[in-house]
Amino acid sequence: MKIFEIDKLVASLQGYIETKVELVKLDAKDELQTLIAKLFVIAILGCGILLSVFFLSMALVSLLSELFDNAALAYLSVGVLYVLVSAIIYSSKDRVLKSITKSIKENE
């Protein structure tokens, strides 16, 4: 009789392990789908932001070109503006990374 009880115990344990493995697989699949959806939304937003910055830059160049009466100087001014903005962002990158990390942890 004890052999049959051990067989039942082993069978139950195998069923439990198989169920746990399936649950982990389903959870991983859910998290992967959520991650892919978030990445897709971020990619779409990124493209929209890049296009907006591009067209706003062209509008600024057009305005400065009329003001300076020199297209090259207008392009140079916008380029210098982007270099300054990049330098400011680079100099404060640690603070920005900390705030992004904190924001991500709060959203989890």
pTM score, whole prediction: 0.63
Contact 30, 44 (CB under 8 A): no
Q: How confident is the model at residue 108 (pLDDT cuts 50, 70, 90)?
A: low
In the chain, domain spans:
2-107
Residue 60 in contact with residue 78, Cβ under 8 Å? yes
Give the pLDDT band of residue 86 (cuts 50, 70, 90): very high
From residue 12, alpha-carbon distances to 3, 19, 24, 48, 85 in Å are 14, 10, 18, 54, 63
Whole-number pLDDT of residue 65: 95
Looking at the predicted structure, is the pLDDT value of residue 1 above 60?
Answer: no
Q: Are residues 61 and 74 in contact, defined by beta-carbon separation less than 8 angstroms?
A: yes
In this predicted structure, what is the pLDDT of residue 3?
60
